[in-house]
Structure 1
Amino acid sequence: MSGENVRGRRLGAAAVTATAVAAAGVAVGGWTLVADATTRAAANRWTLVTGAVLAYEVSFLAYHLDADRPAAALAPPNLVTLTRGLLYAATAGFLVVPPSPAVRWAPAVCYGVGVSLDVVDGRLARWTGQTTPLGEKLDHAFDTLGFLVAPLVGVAWGRLPVAYLTLSAARYVYRAGCWWHRRRGRPVGDLPESRVRRPLAALQMGFVTVALTPILPAALVHPASLLIVSPSLATFVRDYLSVTGRLDGRSVE
């Protein structure tokens, strides 16, 4: 093994270790804040859920380190993405914390800052020329994670209707459908070009952030969510039909 590969692997291990230390800091610091704001029992539940998500994120990073470029985890854009993951893990913990005045803004702040960093990491990667396969995997995985945990917290806190979780499930149903299609020996094509996919994802992120805040009444948020989620669900259906050959794959205008 060359000296460069050894150095790269050491940097990769250092990146995983640093992420694990940061995750532990989030868990400990979060427990302290939640315990001070609510109760120790609530803080214990928050830490249990957040810790499980943090363990997944650290494991995901370790598993997907590029064997040829493990040091890519230390690239500034990827560090921003990892920070997003920590914030989404903190958001997840509020799934088992009852809403109260002391913490009512916490999920919206954690998720909202994570969403803001979603804009930063991509632009930073393009600006610095540090777009990496690891960064793309982290970005996609944490986007999916955020779309899962934030709506779950919204439903648990009464801020979103259960029907909105169809969007959280859509990504997993899409992947399962593609897997089943391949298992039956049928080809699965590439996603068609789309001008609406990213804007719709940004719309959903922004809407969930607003829905988690205590500003708008739930009586207004619930019906609005059903209208806003519809085009994104339609896009998932359209993408699945395209990659499985049921549509011609032309671009969405």
Structure 2
Amino acid sequence: MALNNTYEARLVQQETAVGAGLQILLLALLGTAIGMGPAGWLTGLAFAVATWAVLSRALHRTRPRSFGPANRVTLGRATLVGGVTALVADSFESSPPVTLFVGLTAVALILDGVDGQVARRTGTSTPLGARFDMEVDAFLILVLSVYLSMSLGPWVLLIGTMRYAFVAAARALPWLNAALPPSMARKTVAALQGVFLLLAASNLLPYPATFGIVAVALVLLIWSFGRDILWLWRTYRSQKAAVTQMLELELVPEREPVAS
């Protein structure tokens, strides 16, 4: 049995290596197609290595029996995000072909709705898969924010960094780590971020419209985060008040019965 478990773990780890290989292959194709410079190559390779290392460590810690079909879809999406990241890094030296940039990003966004469905239909939903999916989403939004900030201004970076700022704040304020209730509004706002940023990056709209749609995306994101933070704060305060009341009741001595 131990030998079989080792064999299965080795197969799971091999899938992450295959993902890194596909990432390098995509970079080679992009390099051939557009003559990608050193910045794009180095950034793309760094993304491939980092994804492989982090995912391998997570798999080693959780030790799943198989990688799972949903995670394969997410890994494919991560490969596309790595290509988008390389193109954005290369855009500091030369503008990438808009069609290629939009095409890779659009497929990555479409697949975002596929991996979750695959996980539910195959019964392979796991905390690792959900976290993997969320991290790929967050990084794509960050990369798109960096790309748009070059034309719209640094304020766009607030969209891409807001989630990471929330995670950093949660280290100092543990009450932010509490589980949030499911919310269709939160999911909708998160999905619209990618759609709005992709539309803004496509150069299909005039500058005022592009500026406006990104501003709307930022306002929606601030509203969504603010709503969740307020819920977490109220929940924390109510739980703290309940604990305080319980302690006070335990400290109050029982009164002796009054003699008649």
Provide, for residues 179-229 of structure 1, a one-character-per-residue CA deviation record: whole Å limited to 9, x for no partner: 1013xxx68422233230001111111111111112112232112321232
- 1:46-97, CA deviations, whole angstroms, 9 ceiling, x for partnerless residues? 1111111222111121011055644432x22111101111111111122233
Structure 1 residues 63 and 151: CA distance shift in structure 2, 3 A: same
Q: Which amino acid aligns with 2:82?
A: A
Q: Which residue of the partner structure matches residue 93 of structure 1?
A: 86
Q: Which residue of 2 aligns with 1:127?
A: 121
Cα distance in structure 1, aligned partners of 2:210 and 2:176: 40
Where in structure 2 are the equivalents of 1:68-79 lying within 5 Å? 69-73=63-67, 75-79=68-72
Residue 107 of structure 1 aligns to which amino acid in structure 2? F
- Work out the number of aligned pairs and report it: 237
Q: Work out which of the residue numbers 139, 144, 154 in structure 2 matches 1:162.
A: 154
**C-alpha separation in 2, matches of 1:146 and 1:68:** 25
Match of 1:209 in 2: 198
Gaps of 5+ in 1: 36-41
Q: What are the equivalent positions in structure 2 for 1:1-253 lying under 5 Å apart? A: 2-35=2-35, 42-65=36-59, 67=61, 69-73=63-67, 75-98=68-91, 103-156=97-150, 158=151, 160-182=152-174, 188-245=177-234
For structure 2, the 5+ residue unaligned runs are 239-260
1:38 equivalent in structure 2: none
Identity across the alignment (%): 25
How far apart, in 2, do the equivalents of 1:187 and 1:235 lie?
A: 14
Distance 2:25 2:214 in 1: 34
Give, as a single letter, the amino acid of the residue that structure 1 aligns with 2:106.
Answer: G
Q: Quick one: which amino acid aligns to residue 170 of structure 1?
A: M
Look up the SS of the partner of 1:91 in the other structure. Answer: helix
Query: How well do the aligned residues superpose, as a CA RMSD in angstroms?
Result: 2.4
Aligned partners of 2:227 and 2:217: how far apart in 1? 17
Larger RCO, structures 1/2 (Cα 8 Å, 6+ apart): 1
Letter in 1 for 2:227: R
| Separation (CA, whole Å) in 2 of partners of 1:248 and 1:231 | 26
Quickly say closer, same or farther: Cα 1:225–1:27, change in 2 above 3 A: same
Checking the alignment, whether the CA contact within 8 Å between 2:146 and 2:156 is kept in structure 1 is no
1:164 counterpart letter in structure 2: V
Aligned partners of 1:151 and 1:208 also within 8 Å: yes
Structure 1 residue identity aligned to 2:84: T
CA distance in structure 1 between the partners assigned to 2:189 and 2:223 by the alignment: 11
Structure possessing the higher radius of gyration over alpha carbons: 2
Letter of the 1:80 counterpart: V
> What TM-score, normalized by structure 1, do the two folds share?
0.84
Conserved? CA contact 1:148–1:168, under 8 Å: yes
Q: Taking structure 2 as the reference length, what is the TM-score of the superposition?
A: 0.82
Task: Please state which structure has a larger fraction of its residues in helix.
Answer: 2
